[in-house]
Amino acid sequence: MLWLPRANCKGLSMLQNVTLEDKYELDEGRVFVSGTQALTRLLLSQKRADAAAGLKTAGFISGYRGSPLGGFDMALWRARKQLKAHDIVFQPGVNEELAATAVYGSQQLEFFQGPKYDGVFGAWYGKGPGVDRAGDALKHGNLAGASRHGGVLVFAGDDHGAKSSTTAHQSEQALAAALIPVLYPANVEEFLAFGAFGFALSRFTGLWAGFKCVNDTADATMSARLETVPRNFRIPNDVVIPPEGLNILVGESQLGMERRTVDFRLPAAQAFARTNGFNRVIFDAPAGGLAIITAGKAYLDVREALAAAQIDETRARKLGIRLLKLGLTWPLDGETVRAVADGCREVLVVEEKRAFIETQVKDALFHLRADRRPTVSGKTTPEGAPLLPGFGELSPGSILAAIADRLEAHDLLDDPARAQIAEARSRRAGVVAAPLTEHARAPFFCSGCPHNTSTVVPEGSVGLSGIGCHVMAALMPHRKHAWPVQMGGEGANWIGAAPFTETPHVFQNLGDGTYFHSGVLAIRAAIAAGVNITYKLLYNDAVAMTGGQPVEGTLTTLQIAHELKAEGAARVLIVADDLGRYDEVKAQLGDVALYGRERLDGIQKELREVPGVTVIIYDQVCAAEKRRRRKRGEFPDPPQRVFINDLVCEGCGDCGVKSNCVSVQPLETEFGRKRRIDQSSCNKDFSCVNGFCPSFVTVEGGKPRARAPVSGGVAVPALPEPVEATGAKSILITGIGGTGVITVGAVLGMAAHLEGKGCSIVDMTGLSQKNGAVLSHLKIAPSVDTVYAARVDTASADVLLACDMITAGGGEAAQMLRPGVTAGIVNSNVTPTAAFTVQRTINFNEAQTARKLQDVLDPAGTAFVPATALAERLMGDSIAANMMIVGAACQLGLLPLSRASIEEAVRLNGVSVEQNLLAFALGRWAAIDPQAVAALAAPAPGAAASGSLALSGGLDQLIARRVEFLVGYQNQAYAESYRTFVEAVRKAEQAVSPDSEALTGAVARNLFKLMAYKDEYEVARLYTNGEFAEKLKAQFEGDLKLTFHLSPPMIAPKDPDNGRPRKMTFGPWMLTGFKVLAALKGLRGTPLDPFGRTAERRMERQLIRTYRADMERALEVLDAGNIAIVVKLAELPAEIYGFGYIKDARVAEAERLRADLLANLTSPHTIAAE
């Protein structure tokens, strides 16, 4: 049953009528639109404008994806119906330069007979490195020119902060080198206006128009006003046009193209911008002051900085500040610059990265008379002192400091301004200097990602990273990979290094998308150079890095294999996770060998000894794409699920080592931290079952039991109507990539749009979309005119919505909090970071992070909500936690939005509407009556955790439970021997430290661990004592068929590559065998025990004797001074875990630690076999 309070009809009636189609269909008013959607819309708008002008035009767009334009092609695909209706052809490029060449062709309509249209407006897109790669093609196209009714925009995506790039990037210089004018919009709204201007400029001048996009614009979403888009453009009357015109010509010579571009087209571009007011004076002021010249993102940062110091247009005029916002940053219009600089003492150029505008400003001012020529500052002061950095990204805080410095240098600050600037800077000086958590939520491969396996290299080998998701291997300390070179150059760096190093061979990762893009040339170069290298061509059938797009082209693994053999590769083979896919094409393999992925390590060891270039084509579909296709019914969904018997599990972490998978998660039990499989995130890669442990079972025929919400459903009572916050708010949202956190910002932004407010959202994801820390910056203001910088600045967050506490406590997010002022709603439940896959005992210190956040946040406006636990218990799905956080923030009056607008935004989003509305309502309820919600979520009587999942409440209960366990393990006498020993330790501890239980607790836990060693009898008992069956039933429903993954002694096969025992599979009949084996536990340790004579079992019995002896000797010398050492000695068995060869290695390490501890107490007893 779901009961929610009735919607406020009056509130709904005050909201704007909005549909999701508005962004492409409305012609006036406002639209809620993202950066890539705005780029799509401007193409549609151009077609409509041409039709209104009586032109029959079409559109063509091509390029290659990459951040911050990584999702542009997806936006275009989603708008395929609108594109088709507007005669716009979208053809993704194989790579950037070929895409640019195709766009060049769209301007050559007049070169061919029978044109169907008056012209074709074209667009190219690519990230900064793609601009470099396509430089020659862009230069050719631009020099040839644009057609009169066509025009070309060049969307250049620059990742200034290298959020998702191997290098930071700035494309202006490359575009200028190709003689392409550069437009730099400041926000999403300007995308629409600049797009219209860019096409008009391109048609008039014959030039292609560069269009600079950065993360803060391309990755942003805002409520954009359509009235800002110009409808008509004026043609300058002071431009010299040659007789042949400015547009593309058939048969023009090379020097003719250059002459027309340099002498006529570029001056025409400057005149066109000047005539249409494209470079705008925002603030004017009397002579004698400071002129600030800026563009794009930096302009909004300047406005944010000035606003922080309460400098508006009136105050700016009084202080003598002029502000020029450039729309065309190259070629700079010198006339406009000179007019703004006239009479000023100094010009301050504010721009990110290297000086680009600044050098042009200096050129423009150079020939002024000395008494009229202002000094120029930017990267440095006029005296040469550093001012604004030429690397990284600027922030409003750093810009305010520079402005204040230059105003002070010319004595332009009055006392009020000086005080306001000092106050603004002092706020930022109180920044949280250090992270509030010791943990980092680093990007990591998805659950079941092929790269978890494919990027492993053999011991002693070196791996080189490549472009793609697999680059994350270079960020993982347990993977030995070097940082990559540029896309398409993979392995070519080894050509230059190989002759000069003793390293004989390297492995090089290469994605299938990169191979088709340009990577095949790198392989060809390596073959030509004769270097020893093995390419691991990772064939994943999708470009997961930017959203799961298909790889351009249709090459199969077999086609690639034969192509590389023809290129001259010494050996080419295929490794696949599913060999069955090759059953019908085995005859086509020829001399291309085919192996299962379990042979990867041995194959790599073999190939590294082969001279020349060898290739492993690793064939496994991208896990994220596999999940998407399964939801659509387009990919096989194996009926198996993995389950871990936690009582058998030793918590050794070998399953995490083997799988590197984030779906293997910690499970805290009475007997220590074990492992569990997160069924909701598991993508059925099954490599975790290779962990050398008998606790793994695959379940077939059933499905995960829906985590049923509380019995009878949730009835949310009538709640007080929340009071909206007033004024503008900067809201920071923190979460985990892939968990829906970006939807929070989108819903709240849409709610602001519905209310007619100004809003801007920018999602800082990059690699973090893969299980990493995601930060969404949300600005809401009464008017869009006061929404400046897209990001929340240092110490400027008004509200924190911490869907993930670890991300909120990380250094990047913590710096945005304003101590004592920022209010926050924090999810107090912590999701383990990916570090757990390799750090088995990692402690996430939830309480410590919560305390630190509590110390920083405004105590009157902050609440901690166990949102994940509430969502799982009350709604059956943890993903609802994010919307609970929003509900709590709304109810406590932290958001400048009405309940009605948020709920309507949820409905408009159209995804899991009822679930999200309920989560929102529960969050509101939890904010004002947390006890009632907690009581509702509490387990029903009799449904509390039981068995190993029920934790002891004290030392006595802990001991009693272990005594009971040992009775079942062996017999009463065995259990009593344990109790007697523990009680002796307790008596000795109380004699020297009456208030201490540390030593007794350590012995109680660790002696039990040794005595309950998991031999064949015990594993069998733990599968048949009823608890395993109950846990299995609780997690799965249906007719279950079980498969056990075991490595029985004496019969388990050896791995052909490393000689270690491998696991075998056993069907449901194994339960019967387990019952028989469990009944034979009385044979344990007797002469009739068939397993007792193995080295492992003898070692385990000796460990018990040695531990007892060590503790007895330690108790003889126990005193208050050495009790800490004795506790450490007592805890030593905790370092011994696992089965077989894993346990052997841990015993050897424990013996080393034991020797060190005993050195201060007594002579050690060597652990030896009987």
pLDDT reading at 991 higher than 60: yes
Of 218, 243, 274, which closes a domain?
Answer: 274
- For residue 134, the domain's CATH number is 3.40.50.970
In percent, the amount of the chain with pLDDT more than 90 equals: 79
**pLDDT band at residue 709 using 50, 70 and 90 as cut-offs:** low
Of residues 834 and 234, the one with the higher pLDDT is: 234
What pLDDT does residue 3 have? 38
- Across the beta sheet with 613-619, the strand order is 481-482, 463-464, 506-511, 533-539, 613-619, 571-576, 593-596
Cis peptide before 720 (omega within 30 of 0): no
Q: What is the pLDDT of residues 1003-1020, one digit of tens each?
A: 999 999 999 999 999 999
Q: What is the pLDDT of residues 543-552, one digit of tens each?
A: 655 555 676 6
For 780-784, what is the mean pLDDT?
94
3-class secondary structure, 69 = coil
Tell me if 797 is assigned to some domain: yes
CA-wise closest residue to 274 among 334, 232, 321, 206: 334
Whether residue 509 is found in the same domain as residue 558: yes
Of 559, 592, 621, which closes a domain?
Answer: 621
Q: What is the pLDDT of residues 10-29, one digit of tens each?
A: 455 578 888 889 999 999 99
Q: What's the token pair of residue 544?
A: 């997961």
CB within 8 A of 163, min separation 6: which ones?
A: 67, 215, 764, 765, 766, 767
Whether residue 681 is found in the same domain as residue 758: no
Helix (H) or strand (E) holding 729: strand 729-736
Q: pTM (2 decimals)?
A: 0.92
Q: What is the pLDDT of residues 1046-1086, one digit of tens each?
A: 999 888 899 888 889 999 999 999 999 999 999 999 999 99
CA distance 58 to 120: 5
Whether residue 562 is found in the same domain as residue 592: yes
Whether residue 192 is found in the same domain as residue 329: no
HSE-up of residue 363 (Cα within 13 Å, Cβ side): 11
Tell me if 5 is assigned to some domain: no
Cis peptide before 68 (omega within 30 of 0): yes
What pLDDT does residue 2 have? 37
**pLDDT band at residue 1089 using 50, 70 and 90 as cut-offs:** very high
pLDDT reading at 32 higher than 90: yes
The CA dihedral of 897, 901, 906, 908, to the nearest 10 degrees, is -130
- For residue 808, the domain's CATH number is 3.40.920.10
Phi, psi of 1034 (to 5 degrees): -70, -30
Of residues 581 and 767, the one with the higher pLDDT is: 581
Of residues 49 and 876, the one with the higher pLDDT is: 49
Tell me if 1062 is assigned to some domain: no
What pLDDT does residue 896 have? 97
pLDDT reading at 80 higher than 80: yes
Torsion 1149-1150-1154-1157 (CA) sign: positive
Q: What's the token pair of residue 803?
A: 């869907």
Tell me if 691 is assigned to some domain: yes
For 286-313, what is the mean pLDDT?
95
Whether residue 743 is found in the same domain as residue 763: yes
Tell me if 17 is assigned to some domain: no
Q: Total structural domains in the chain?
A: 6
What pLDDT does residue 295 have? 98
Lowest mean pLDDT among 288-302, 455-469, 582-596, 1154-1168: 1154-1168
CA-wise closest residue to 827 among 730, 903, 920, 734: 734
CA distance 485 to 166: 8
pLDDT reading at 710 higher than 80: no
For 822-826, what is the mean pLDDT?
97
In percent, the amount of the chain with pLDDT more than 70 equals: 95
CA distance 125 to 43: 13
**What are the counts of helices (DSSP H) followed by strands (DSSP E) for the chain?**
45, 35
Tell me if 58 is assigned to some domain: yes
Whether residue 420 is found in the same domain as residue 479: no
Angle between helices 266-275 and 334-341 (to 10 degrees): 50
Tell me if 397 is assigned to some domain: yes
631-652: string of b/e by CB count within 10 Å (b at 16+)?
eeeeeeeeebbbbbbbbbbbbb
What pLDDT does residue 9 have? 42
Whether residue 468 is found in the same domain as residue 611: yes
Whether residue 543 is found in the same domain as residue 599: yes
CB within 8 A of 531, min separation 6: which ones?
A: 494, 495, 498, 612, 613
Q: What is the pLDDT of residues 479-508, one digit of tens each?
A: 888 889 999 999 999 999 999 999 999 999
What pLDDT does residue 13 have? 58
Of residues 444 and 326, the one with the higher pLDDT is: 326
pLDDT reading at 573 higher than 80: yes
Whether residue 208 is found in the same domain as residue 242: yes
The burial of 667, by beta-carbon neighbours within 10 Å (0-12 exposed, 13-18 middle, 19 or more buried), is given as: middle
**pLDDT band at residue 879 using 50, 70 and 90 as cut-offs:** confident
pLDDT reading at 804 higher than 90: yes
Whether residue 874 is found in the same domain as residue 776: yes
CA distance 556 to 306: 57
Pairing of strands 88-90, 57-63: parallel
Q: What is the pLDDT of residues 920-964, one digit of tens each?
A: 999 999 999 999 999 888 875 555 567 888 999 999 999 999 999
**pLDDT band at residue 766 using 50, 70 and 90 as cut-offs:** low
**pLDDT band at residue 356 using 50, 70 and 90 as cut-offs:** very high
Whether residue 293 is found in the same domain as residue 215: no
pLDDT reading at 1143 higher than 60: yes
Q: What is the pLDDT of residues 624-652, one digit of tens each?
A: 888 888 888 888 889 999 999 999 999 99
Tell me if 1043 is assigned to some domain: no
Phi, psi of 1081 (to 5 degrees): -60, -20
C-alpha distances in Å from residue 38, one per residue of 157, 195, 299, 363, 1144: 14, 9, 20, 35, 61
Of 243, 274, 305, which closes a domain?
Answer: 274
**pLDDT band at residue 971 using 50, 70 and 90 as cut-offs:** very high
Rg of the chain taking only CA atoms, in angstroms? 34
Domain limits for position 325:
279-429
Of residues 781 and 873, the one with the higher pLDDT is: 781
For 984-997, what is the mean pLDDT?
95
pLDDT reading at 274 higher than 90: yes
**pLDDT band at residue 180 using 50, 70 and 90 as cut-offs:** very high
Whether residue 210 is found in the same domain as residue 241: yes
